[in-house]
């Protein structure tokens, strides 16, 4: 498929009616297609709307796998993402040229890959902020029965684009999203794909947790997150008692959290809610959380206590202590959480004496603006999906 020229106009027919899209410029290109900045009009008297237009290549699953198309659209519908791919055509002198496209709103910011190109290594606070916001996003996806399958630095947008412990993060590019346990081809990016998917297993929410852990390790080390190549990772996934594969990120507590989130065996890996529990002691991770997020953590912490999940007494001790600061006095589980905090005091003391407290705030580092082509990705608008990191009031 050739690149669309500036000024190209596409006609689109979707469930919302007819519209025209005027292409302005290319924002980026990936394995599934190219993304353009564009203007959409739904009627003669309707103001133009700025959008991101993704045009899929003609070699993707959109053109060769009807089963994938059906399952993806089901996932999009379940996730309440309105911009499912549709057909569009360009009228030329020789007839109509057809495309498969999807459209998304625009949001200012830049992808995390910009920070890597700039040589930045995320501080502990920045990493905790990223993990905390994305863990809530994955928890929401889990409730809706959706797996993203391609979480990586290029698919997470920070607003503003410069590194900071207080930026907002948005997960984008839902081209590979499917329902949980989708029975289809293995997809993803090899540096970040969960090992069980390399073995042909079906994707689950824990698969996205692995990808998020690998993404965080990349941001903290500014290097490939894995200690071994793809072939070695497949063998690692088959081991009965595998050792952690992600590179050491330097922060003792975050290393422990990431090791749990990147376990080779999905049944022993953190679920999205487990990851939220593990992040409770880190203020930068919980800064944007809502009361229902802390309640979900309380429920999960109690489930761990009765022995239905992989446990770490030290993490649970810190988590219980931190959770008490966020639960209201009349919360039904407050007494048992207080008991867990009291029981965990020796674990917290031992860890602190050996490693210091898990909270390690450090000053943010400014990364230089990185231009890609003629687009300054630290200021240019980029695609956004409805799965946005939690705002002060989440519906």
Burial of 357 (0-12, 13-18, 19+ CB in 10 A): exposed
Nearest C-alpha neighbor of 53 from the set 381, 387, 372, 389? 381
Q: Which residues of the chain have pLDDT under 70?
A: 1-2, 13-17, 31, 44, 57-96, 107, 183-185, 308-310, 360-395
Q: Which two tokens stand for residue 395?
A: 């519906």
Q: Which two tokens stand for residue 150?
A: 């391609």
At residue 79, the pLDDT reads: 55
Domain 109-376: which CATH number of 3.40.50.300, 3.40.47.10, 1.10.510.10, 1.10.260.40? 1.10.510.10
Q: CB pairs under 8 A, 24+ apart, for 228-233?
A: 230/190, 230/198, 233/195, 233/198
3-state secondary structure of 14: strand
**CA 272/CA 165 separation, integer angstroms:** 21
Measure the CA angle with vertex 210, ends 140 and 228; round to 5°. 165
DSSP conformation letters of 75-88: HHHHTT-----EEE
Nearest C-alpha neighbor of 4 from the set 85, 81, 98? 98
Buried b (16+ CB within 10 A) or exposed e, 314-327: bbbbbbbbbbbebb
At residue 235, the pLDDT reads: 82
**CA 136/CA 390 separation, integer angstroms:** 7
At residue 174, the pLDDT reads: 78
What are the sequence ranges of the domains in the chain? Answer: 9-106, 109-376
The architecture that CATH gives domain 9-106 is 2-Layer Sandwich (3.30)
Nearest C-alpha neighbor of 362 from the set 120, 119, 153? 120
Q: How far is CA 134 from CA 20, 85, 172, 179, 238, in A?
A: 34, 24, 11, 19, 28
The set of residues, in sequence order, having a beta carbon less than 8 Å from that of 268 and lying 6+ positions away, is 310
Q: How far is CA 97 from CA 1, 10, 28, 93, in A?
A: 10, 9, 22, 10
**CA 254/CA 265 separation, integer angstroms:** 19
């Amino acid at each position: 498929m050739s690149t669309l020229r500036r000024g190209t106009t596409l006609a689109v027919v979707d469930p919302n009616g007819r519209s025209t899209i005027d292409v302005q410029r290319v924002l980026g290109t990936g394995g599934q297609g190219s993304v353009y900045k564009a203007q959409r009009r739904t009627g003669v008297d309707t103001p133009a709307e700025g959008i991101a237009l993704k045009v899929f290549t003609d070699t993707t699953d959109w053109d060769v796998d009807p089963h994938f198309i059906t399952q993806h659209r089901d996932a999009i519908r379940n996730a309440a993402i309105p911009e499912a791919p549709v057909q569009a055509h360009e009228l030329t002198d020789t007839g109509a040229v057809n495309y498969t496209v999807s459209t998304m709103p625009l949001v200012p910011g830049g992808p995390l890959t910009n920070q890597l190109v700039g040589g930045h290594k995320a501080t502990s606070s920045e990493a905790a902020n990223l993990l905390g916001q994305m863990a809530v996003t994955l928890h929401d996806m889990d409730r809706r029965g959706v797996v993203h399958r391609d979480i990586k630095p290029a698919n997470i947008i920070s607003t503003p684009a410069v590194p900071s412990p207080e930026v907002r993060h948005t997960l984008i590019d839902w081209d590979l999203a499917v329902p949980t346990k989708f029975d289809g081809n293995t997809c993803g990016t090899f540096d970040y794909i969960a090992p069980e998917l390399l073995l042909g297993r079906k994707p689950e929410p824990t698969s996205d947790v692995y990808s998020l852990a690998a993404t965080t390790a990349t941001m903290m080390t500014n290097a490939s997150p894995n200690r071994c190549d793809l072939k070695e990772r497949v063998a690692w996934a088959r081991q009965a008692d595998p050792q952690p594969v992600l590179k050491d990120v330097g922060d003792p507590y975050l290393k422990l959290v990431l090791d749990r989130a990147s376990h080779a065996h999905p049944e022993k890996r953190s679920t999205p809610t487990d990851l939220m529990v593990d992040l409770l002691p880190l203020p930068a991770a919980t800064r944007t959380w809502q009361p229902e997020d802390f309640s979900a953590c309380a429920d999960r912490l109690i489930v761990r206590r009765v022995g239905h999940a992989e446990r770490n007494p030290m993490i649970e001790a810190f988590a219980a202590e931190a959770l008490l600061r966020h639960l209201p006095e009349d919360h039904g589980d407050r007494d048992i959480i207080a008991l867990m905090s009291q029981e965990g005091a020796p674990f917290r003391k031992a860890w602190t004496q050996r490693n210091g407290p898990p909270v390690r705030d450090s000053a943010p580092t400014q990364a230089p603006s990185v231009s890609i082509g003629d687009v300054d990705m630290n200021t240019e608008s980029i695609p956004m999906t409805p799965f946005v990191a939690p705002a002060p009031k989440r519906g």
